[in-house]
């Protein structure tokens, strides 16, 4: 069997989809039952010799996959090309572009929404990472039959074995001098970063020596002035990206990881933080309840600044609660494995080909 794989996300900053694909490829190197053909914008040129993701994805990629006679084209990034004459398997991590178009600008609503809908309608196999997202897809298209729930996992590098000197070095790199709270992820309205900032300002009255590190591009729609909200607050540091090699130490060094999302297809950052032995404050909304399991505390309403403030203070003040969160988080993270994810994804691709 010949499996084509779209790898264009690996050419960009390490997004969640890129990390997903990287982990699959790491394990698939050991598989001998199939031939893998990797496609990217570097090795698949379009006839106009223009670097264009749209041209690559909708024209050059499917054309090359057909030329190479792949049995199935694996698409890890939500969408299916317009002009594609080979069978496809697509990973749809959520359907936010369809379920909540108001969260996105016109370009993303049209391009991502249309191509995600096409992927749901036309793909031979659909992979998703939570029961919640599977049910969301079925609400949109009840005829979708071949949907496989394959949860994600924290990378093996995320662990609770601390290198204090390295943590100190990375803290200095990002201007972290004191104890700190940490948020990492693209800044969308649904992740309530603005509410986190407002709650943090309130807790400074009691925890004046704390800092807050916010890492992520601001893609809010309608736009929220995140930089304006933190202006003149020296205890808040915001950057677009942290180096991938620093992420482990930032998780480990944080007093708490905060991720106040009301909508996720899975929610990988909280799981990574739990694997590092860091207390996590998130919600149990949408798929996040599947990630947290019996975790002892969560935010019920991420729009409620007072609730956020009170739960942050409770976690920082209650050492027994912190120990419980750390222990349950570590045990929960062990229940997810990239090896299992890669194996199940691979076996599903193979079995669908054999049963065709």
Instruction: Please give the angle made by the CA atoms of 146, 264 and 187, to the nearest 5 degrees.
Output: 140
Could you tell me the pLDDT band of residue 199, with boundaries at 50, 70 and 90? very high
Residue 12 has pLDDT above 90, yes or no: no
Query: What are the tens digits of pLDDT across the range 53-89?
Result: 889 999 999 999 999 999 999 999 999 998 899 999 9
What pLDDT, on the 0 to 100 scale, is given for residue 14? Answer: 65
> Measured at the alpha carbon of residue 352, what is the angle toward residues 350 and 355, in degrees to the nearest 5?
110
Q: Which among 301, 318, 322, 321 is positioned nearest to 199, based on CA atoms?
A: 301
What are the tens digits of pLDDT across the range 79-93? 999 889 999 999 999
Residue 72 pairs in a beta bridge with 3
Contact 315, 321 (CB under 8 A): yes
- The CATH class that applies to domain 2-153+337-354 reads alpha beta
As a CATH number, domain 164-333 is 3.40.50.2000
What share of the chain in percent tops pLDDT 90? 85
pLDDT digits (tens, 9 = 90+) for 300-338: 999 999 999 999 999 999 999 999 999 999 999 999 999
Dump the DSSP string for 321-336: HHHHHHHHHHHHHTT-
- Block residue for tokens 């969560």: 298
Q: Provide the pLDDT for residue 322.
A: 98
User: For residues 286 and 127, what is the distance between their CA atoms, to the nearest angstrom?
Assistant: 17
Report the Cα 218 to chain-centroid distance in Å. 15
Q: Which pLDDT value is given to residue 45?
A: 83
Looking at residue 133, its pLDDT comes to 97
Band of the pLDDT at 352, cuts 50, 70, 90?
Answer: confident
Which of the four pLDDT bands, split at 50, 70 and 90, describes residue 107? confident
For residue 181, report the phi and psi dihedrals to the nearest 5 degrees: -100, 155
Within the chain, all domains assigned CATH 3.40.50.2000 are found at 2-153+337-354, 164-333
Q: What is the pLDDT of residue 238?
A: 97
Average pLDDT of the chain to the nearest whole number:
94
The whole-number pLDDT of residue 13 equals 62
What's 123-161 look like in SS3? CCEEEECCHHHHHHHHHHCCCCCCEEECCCCCCCCCCCC
Q: What tens digit of pLDDT does each residue of 233-285 get?
A: 999 999 999 998 999 999 999 999 999 999 999 999 999 999 999 999 999 99
């Amino acid at each position: 069997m010949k499996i084509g794989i779209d790898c264009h996300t690996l050419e960009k900053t390490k997004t969640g989809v890129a990390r997903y694909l990287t982990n699959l490829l790491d394990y698939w190197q050991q598989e001998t039952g199939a031939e893998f053909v990797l496609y990217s914008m570097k090795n698949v040129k379009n006839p106009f010799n223009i670097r264009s993701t749209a041209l690559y994805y909708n024209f050059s990629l499917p054309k090359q996959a057909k030329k190479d006679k792949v049995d199935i084209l694996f698409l890890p990034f939500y969408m299916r090309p317009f002009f594609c004459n080979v069978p496809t398997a697509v990973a749809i991590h959520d359907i936010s572009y369809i379920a909540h178009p108001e969260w996105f600008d016109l370009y993303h609503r049209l391009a991502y929404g249309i191509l995600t809908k096409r992927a749901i309608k036309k793909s031979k196999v659909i992979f998703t990472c939570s029961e919640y997202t599977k049910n969301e897809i079925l609400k949109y298209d009840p005829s979708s039959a071949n949907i496989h729930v394959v949860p994600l996992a924290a990378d093996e590098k995320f662990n609770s074995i601390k290198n204090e000197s390295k943590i100190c070095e990375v803290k200095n790199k990002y201007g972290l001098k004191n104890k700190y709270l940490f948020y990492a992820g693209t800044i969308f309205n649904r992740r309530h970063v603005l509410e986190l900032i407002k709650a943090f300002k309130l807790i400074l009255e009691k925890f004046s020596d704390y800092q807050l590190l916010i890492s992520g591009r601001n893609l809010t729609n309608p736009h929220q002035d995140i930089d304006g909200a933190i202006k003149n607050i020296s205890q808040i540091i915001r950057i677009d990206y942290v180096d991938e090699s620093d992420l482990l130490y930032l998780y480990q060094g944080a007093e708490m990881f905060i991720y106040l999302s009301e909508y996720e297809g899975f929610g990988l950052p909280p799981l990574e933080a739990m694997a590092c032995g860091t207390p996590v404050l998130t919600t149990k909304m949408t798929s996040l309840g599947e990630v947290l399991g019996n975790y002892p505390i969560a935010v019920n309403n991420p729009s409620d600044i007072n609730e956020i403030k009170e739960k942050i203070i409770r976690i920082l003040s209650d050492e027994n609660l912190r120990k419980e969160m750390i222990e349950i988080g570590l045990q929960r993270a062990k229940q997810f494995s990239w090896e299992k994810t890669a194996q199940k994804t691979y076996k599903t691709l193979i079995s669908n080909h054999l049963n065709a």
